[in-house]
Amino acid sequence: MESVLPWMQEHLLAVVAILITIVLVYHYLIEKETGAKLSKRYRNSIFEAQSKIFLNATQYLISGNKDLAIKEFLSAVDINRETIETYFALGGLFRSNGEIEKAISIHRSLIARESISESHRLRALKELAVDFDKGGFVDKAIETYRDVLKINRDQTEVIQALCRIYEDTEDWDQAYNCRIMLSKVGQQNQAETISHILVQKAKQHFEKGDFKKCEEDLEDAFRFAPSVSAKILRLKLFLVSGDLEQGKFLLLEILKEHPMYASFIFVSIAEDFKTNNEELKKSYQARLEVLRKYFLEMDDKDLISSASVVLSKVRLLKEQGMSGEAFDILKGWMDNNKNSSEVMKVEYIKLLIELQKKDEALEQTKGLLQNLHQTLAKHYCRQCGYNSDSLFWRCPQCHEWETIQFRWKV
């Protein structure tokens, strides 16, 4: 199966052309049976010309010559203007060849035809929307996809396309509506994604300093699913309101569920928020400090055995110039984990150098260099492999939600 799929994609046009040829032959035979209006001789000549053209076109497609294939298909349209599948094939060919405007004019001409059936008209409208979408005409794509939905709401692919556009453009209100639509047409569980979208909405309010609206959207987010991003934002709201006991409790909960997010939690809650309220900024910083201290003193058994948690503690301590304490924690961990990862070893060596423990630094470096594999990025997508320095809840490349994986940068 795995090798068939890429091949199909590679030769999609050829496959389409062959299918069309088969359909035409089929129609020819059916018409022959029922005795269509055209005289037999005329029909035969059309069929012969068409088969020749489709065979030529198929040949061109197989050899990868899309331009010549399109020419052949165009002449087929001249021969029999009622062959609607030919138009669709042609539109698809133009689009995949990057000739969006030609594809658009073909699909528009189909929609405008009087003789066309409603199902074909809907299909042409859908194709037109995809043309706009692929051509980067976002507004027109949205409008046309919506026109399709007005005719028939039960169009999963169309709703998915709209979701993608709204999420790309960070229009979270519309993205939310689309995901709700998607769950109504039976697309499997959207709760986690909807939660993320509502958190994005809530974040915008947070940045503006509108904490009340932020809280409301966040409540909604939790109603759908308690996603990590929702919990981190709630933690920030606790720091705003000064509810430190709840904040500590929540921090512990997130760390126990997702220890790998340890470092990110602190990066995220330390981000500046846009408010002119200097008083609030100050008290936020002070509360953040209390939370940091609470984290550094955490001695929960599960947590201190997590490499991510240890590394986060070490880095926080180093930021505060407490390299001695950082070293103690890391050394304790290294002693218990003989086969620790390269990143832990590098961090350890850095501390050894900083603390002037030259001999041990040299010894450790030797061991490390013998089997060092360079790692390039801190974050990557488990679905498509997209690499990034910054954190993403939705992968910018494959658009999946929460596929992020961590790899510590050396």
Residues that bind Zn ion (CB under 5 A): 381, 383-384, 386, 395, 397-398
Cβ proximity of 306 and 259 under 8 Å: yes
- Measured from the CB atom, is 75 or 383 closer to Zn ion? 383
For residue 287, what are the contacts with CB-CB under 8 A and spacing of at least 6?
239, 242, 244, 247
- Measured from the CB atom, is 185 or 376 closer to Zn ion? 376
- Measured from the CB atom, is 13 or 381 closer to Zn ion? 381
Task: Tell me the backbone φ, ψ of residue 387, rounded to 5 degrees.
Answer: -105, 140
| CA distance between the termini of the chain | 38
Helices (H) and strands (E) in the chain, counts: 21, 3
- Measured from the CB atom, is 314 or 381 closer to Zn ion? 381
196 to 88, 225, 316: CA distances (angstroms): 38, 9, 28
- Measured from the CB atom, is 94 or 401 closer to Zn ion? 401
Please compute, for residue 355, the number of CA atoms within 13 A of its CA located in the half-sphere on the CB side.
20
Q: What distance in Å separates the CA atoms of residue 379 and residue 406, rounded to the nearest whole number?
A: 5
- Measured from the CB atom, is 375 or 383 closer to Zn ion? 383
Measured from the Cβ of residue 1, the count of other Cβ atoms closer than 10 Å reads 4
Smallest separation (angstroms) from Zn ion to the CB of 404: 9
Smallest separation (angstroms) from Zn ion to the CB of 400: 5
- Measured from the CB atom, is 105 or 397 closer to Zn ion? 397
Task: Tell me the backbone φ, ψ of residue 278, rounded to 5 degrees.
Answer: -65, -35
- Measured from the CB atom, is 161 or 381 closer to Zn ion? 381
Smallest separation (angstroms) from Zn ion to the CB of 392: 9
Smallest separation (angstroms) from Zn ion to the CB of 393: 12
- Measured from the CB atom, is 305 or 387 closer to Zn ion? 387
Q: Which residues pair with 153 in a beta bridge?
A: none
- C-alpha dihedral sign at 232, 233, 235, 240: positive
Instruction: Look at residues 371, 224, 238 and name the one whose alpha carbon lies nearest to residue 294.
Output: 238
- C-alpha dihedral sign at 111, 117, 119, 123: negative
Q: What distance in Å separates the CA atoms of residue 230 and residue 239, rounded to the nearest whole number?
A: 14
- Measured from the CB atom, is 167 or 220 closer to Zn ion? 167
Cβ proximity of 96 and 52 under 8 Å: no
| Pairing between β-strand 404-406 and β-strand 387-388 as defined by DSSP bridges | unpaired
Instruction: Look at residues 103, 86, 10 and name the one whose alpha carbon lies nearest to residue 51.
Output: 86
